Chains A and B, each alone.
Chain A
Amino acid sequence: SYVLTQPPSVSVAPGKTATMTCVGTNIGSGSVHWYQQKPGQAPVQVIYSSSDRPSGIPERFSGSNSGNTAALTINRVEAGDEADYYCQVWDRVIDHWLFGGGTKLTVL
């Protein structure tokens, strides 16, 4: 079965750039979506279709997807960005949806 692999944790200093990866076989051939989840809250979509931002999401958030790796990049990281981040894909052939294991972003 298809697997999405995310690093368990990423740490970054305020004002710097955080990059979180999502690895899957040939993931670049489809769309990847990203969610932010803060403790005790529901997830919030921050990127869809690999690189599009929903309304209300700051321009500091961007996405890319090529080959076997998708990435979520946060520029000028703020303390409020500290959260868990999940990547997600849709296998439309079998109508199954899959999440990566999530990355905990720590702002130092």
Chain B
Amino acid sequence: DGGITQSPKYLFRKEGQNVTLSCEQNLNHDAMYWYRQDPGQGLRLIYYSQIVNDFQKGDIAEGYSVSREKKESFPLTVTSAQKNPTAFYLCASSMIEGQSGELFFGEGSRLTVL
């Protein structure tokens, strides 16, 4: 079945360590997104990419980095520069044209900094 796969589902990190969250989609979607979710704050956009080898900062990109070397993959690295990285991270994808811009989401990755 087509969908978006995020891994790992749960991740623990010590302060000062970088960590990479994986996101893979087999929906043949052009655009991919990373959102961060904190209690009571809804979803905030970290980075997005509309095409391979190109990506743009969202509203809270500081302390994060991404790459888009393949259409189906959009990994997110949470660096040690991110001051408060404990959160639930959601990856999503969409077609650029058509389908009214609907986003399809993965199951999420919960990162906890110890």
Do the two chains belong together in a single complex? no
Binding site for A on B (CB under 8 A): none
